[in-house]
Amino acid sequence: MADSVGDGGGTRGTPMAGAASFEPFFKMWSEWLANNMGSMTTVPGASLPWLTKPGISTGDEAKPLPEGALANDPLLSALDKVWSANPLSNIVPIDWAEITRALQTLWMREMSNPQRAMQVATEYNQRLVQTTMNVWTDAISRFWGMPQQEEEEKGKPDPRFSSEVWEANPYYRMLKETYFLATEYLLNEADETDGQGDTEEQRRLKFHLRQFVEAMAPVNFLLTNPDVLKRAFETGGTSLVEGARNLVSDIEDGSLSMVDASAFEVGENLATTPGKVVYRNELMELIQYEPQTEQVYETPILFIPPWINKYYIVDLRPENSFMKYLVEQGFQVFLISWKSADESMADIKFEDYMKLGPLAAADVARQITGSEKVNPVGYCIGGTLLGTTLAYLAADESDEKREAFGSPTFLTAMLDFSDIGDQVVFVDEPRVEFMEMTMKELGYLPGQQLSNMFNLLQPTQLIWSNVVTNYLMGQKPPAFDMLYWNSDSTSLPRDAHQWYLRNTYVENNLKEPGKVEFNGRRIDLTKITGDVYGVGTRKDHIAPWKSGWGICRLTNGNIRYALAGGGHIAGVVSPPEKSRGYWVSDGCGQYETADEWLENAEEHEGTWWDDWTAWLSSRSGEQVNPLEVGSEQYPPIEDAPGSYVKRN
């Protein structure tokens, strides 16, 4: 999701530079495969050119590929030509120029202390020798039926190497262990050679090194993936033909297929909670869901989703629909469905999202229900918009709409952008300028660029697993509702997104009282008071929970804060049947840090949904008989999910 910002590849904020930037890594990649498909060199470590070039001499350097090796290998030759032509930048949006820079930076750090570098290389080689001996000793023991020494596994097993061949076959096991050792070496060196601590530059370095090692995993290549070779043999090569067809199809579509899109249709088997569109303007449609209980709470919920994704992540299928759950608990629910931008929306401002979004929606919801207020819920960037809106209203004591908003809830929302996790890679000045140039030309930021960024935050799950399934195994991707939603991207209007990038990720202005101003009103988050509920998710890679927890210190609200298990999506979409547990406590503002809060929070089993609805119900007024959907002033326009959600 918001699940946020970035272009998938390129040199310092430009698209991928093509053959010039990729060539050295393609050859490095090919050499790695060639060496591991052949015999090991006499000195362990020499067969890993991405360890020794650039880097540390091991005394027996890996020799370059023979002339014409690429041309003689059909797969590698095809890949080389494809990357040179660069049609895959949207499918596998790896930034090879930045990876090159990261490796060069690491090499320069190592060379600043040659003695230490040699010592580390020696230790690595010793570990590789020991690993080699262990693997072949185990293989001999298996062959003779002798008892084998059981090794204690460290951490969770890597699902990429779940096939039993990776353990049973000594060649593949050695390949796997060598990869693990080299990966550990590279990432450890990034930490050990850093003298600056946890800086933005260090995060960028480690991010691109992780991109590199995940791209280099042997499971990602035909010749070093036993499952792929087995399937090719069993199908007589048909799987490779099907994989090539899948690749051509994805190149034509301009994106990596992650899901069987034919299995889903919005309004048919997704976003099916009954409701009506009761209001529409140039920026959003307002959906009112039909009551499902004999009585409903008087104060309605106004749900504000992010506009960088489609809203139906909270209304997927009936069994995991957040909206269905809420109406079944007796709440009246209104939800904003944002319009995906096109060139006609270039001049839409951030304040338009505020006025045409929650402010307009609150007026409609109050008129239809007769309630004096709504209880707003902001998810991700929708929460950032909600916080801005509440501070905007608080800045003018004469504004009657101040009373229109009751007790707010912030779901995985950031108001302080000091720590944005790995997203820092995508919002440095050159990249932001490139996005601004793109938006200036088109009038909007294409959704595919955002999708690429999100995918790079989880490359194994969202990129390489699909590369293996689609192109190497020749299979169709699975039918998975969350992946379908993840692939259904939206575009963002130029002016609004440019303001958002600059004032949040780049300059972090929202947290500074009075630094942001709309219509003469200075935004001061400290003026947000009253009862507030906040939710973070422990494994959030989009909005790190400690940043979201900052609402406890930025506002003067009486905040009950919950930390859910799971990530940015699964932690929020957490029905009772798939609960991950949570931590919760009142008065989070009394603690200085998020870690201190967590030490004092109570841990619970189940889902935070139950805790939140109990909190919200006591702030939602009396229970009353439900009214018809819509009103004379705002009659239903069409059935939910409406039209805007179906725009691309």
Known catalytic residues are 380
Q: Among positive and negative, which fits the CA dihedral 594, 599, 604, 606?
A: positive
603: tokens are 């841990």
By three-state DSSP, how is residue 478 classified? coil
Q: Are 604 and 611 in contact (CB under 8 A)?
A: yes
The 3 state secondary structure assigned to 441-466 is: HHCEECHHHHHHHHHHHCHHHHHHHH
The first and second tokens of residue 543, run together, are 């909005």
Answer for the pair 520, 396: CB distance below 8 angstroms, yes or no: no
Query: Could you tell me how many helices (H) and strands (E) the chain has, helices first?
Result: 25, 17
Q: What angle in degrees, to the nearest 10, is found between the helix axes of 96-111 and 200-215?
A: 110
User: CA 237, 168, 145: angle at the middle one, nearest 5?
Assistant: 135
Considering only CA atoms, give the Rg of the chain. 27
Q: What is the number of other CB atoms lying within 10 angstroms of the CB of residue 255?
A: 18
Q: Which parts of 489-621 fold into alpha helices (H)?
A: 494-500, 545-548, 551-554, 594-600, 608-617
Backbone angles phi, psi at 510, to 5 degrees: -60, -35
DSSP structure string for 32-80: HHHHHHSPPPSSTTTT-HHHHTTB---SSPPPPPPTTHHHHSHHHHHHH
**Shortest CA distance to 299 belongs to which of 624, 634, 640?**
624
554 CB-contact burial (10 Å; exposed 0-12 / middle 13-18 / buried 19+): buried
Bridge partners of residue 280, in order along the sequence: 285
Give the SS3 label for residue 342: coil
Burial call 327-344: b when 16+ CB within 10 Å, e when fewer: bebbbbbbbbbbbbbeee
Q: How far is CA 85 from CA 53, 301, 410, 420, in A?
A: 26, 51, 45, 34
CB 48 within 8 A of CB 32: yes
DSSP element (H, E) containing 248: helix 238-253
Up-side HSE of residue 80: CA atoms within 13 Å toward CB? 19
**What residue has token string 């079944």?**
328
Closest CA to 139 of 174, 178, 170: 170
Q: What is d(CA 244, CA 376) in angstroms, rounded to the nearest whole number? A: 48
For residue 518, report the phi and psi dihedrals to the nearest 5 degrees.
-125, 125
Which two structure tokens, joined as six digits, stand for 358? Answer: 């929650």
What is the C-alpha separation between 312 and 316, in angstroms, rounded?
Answer: 6
Distances (CA, A) of 385 to 316, 408, 445, 523: 23, 12, 19, 12
